[in-house]
Each structure stands twice: as structure tokens, then as C-alpha cells.
Amino acid sequence: MNLGELKVPGPTRTALTVPFWAAAAEGRFIVQHCADCASWVFYPRQICPYCWSPRLEWREASGRARLESWSVIHRPGHPGWEPAAPYAIGIVRLAERPSMLSHILTAEPRLHLPLQVRFTQVGAEILPCFEPQNE
């Protein structure tokens, strides 16, 4: 189904996450990167969880990931998602190291499936979803 037709709530924006969602709306995948220890950090934070540096900067990430865990949703927690069920939600391990919870755009999820980000209209929002990498 076309996920853009769903009537679902969008993400909650905070001062810290506005850059992430603004980039997503432009089809850019950015993740915080620590200027002191070079770690990539997700979810967005005020300080680096590895070295406590406050010097986190937004940087373009590869958008490549592998599927670590997933669940196929048959009974959504919000009624707006019912037209899309069944669909897969999963934890993806980004090539840069952090993990992220996302919508998985495949009917056949499997462990370590190579994925790439795909910006997708979901309801009124453009969200970073993940699809199998092109072979």
C-alpha cells in the first residue's frame, strides 16, 4: 500500500532533533558525529555517550545498515496503521555503528539483511525507512 495515504501521527520534534527531521524532509540522512572521539551517535544527544564531549556535529551518513532484529506487526498499536498491516519494524545497525528503530520495507525480513535508507512519505511526513540494498 501507499504509506503516504495513512492517517498516522508523525515524529515528535525537539530542539535537539529538528536538524534530523529537516534533513530527512530533503532526503538527506544525517547522524551526529563526535568531533573529539570520532564516534557516530544516535539517537540525538547533547553530549557524546562515549567520551562526554559536547562537540557533536551533524554529518551525512552512508544510509547503509544491516537488520539486527524485527517484528512483523499484524495488530498495530495505533488504528491509523491498520491499512498497512502486516508490516515490519526493526532494529537496524548502521554501517557507522549506531542502531536505529525503523520501518523495514520488505515482506521477507531476515537476520543481517543488507539495507539502505529510503526516504518514504508516511502520512504527512517523510521518514527514513530501510529497504533491501540493491544487488
Chain residues that interact with Zn ion, rule: CB under 5 A: 34, 36-37, 39, 48, 50-51, 53
- Taking the complex as a whole, the smallest distance from the CB of residue 59 to Zn ion amounts, in Å, to 13
50 or 82: whose CB is closer to Zn ion?
50
Cis peptide before 54, with omega less than 30 degrees from 0? no
- Taking the complex as a whole, the smallest distance from the CB of residue 36 to Zn ion amounts, in Å, to 5
34 or 115: whose CB is closer to Zn ion?
34
* Position 112, amino acid: H
- Taking the complex as a whole, the smallest distance from the CB of residue 66 to Zn ion amounts, in Å, to 23
DSSP per-residue string spanning 45-98: -SS-TTT--S-EEEEE---EEEEEEEEEESS-SSGGGGGG-SEEEEEEEETTS-
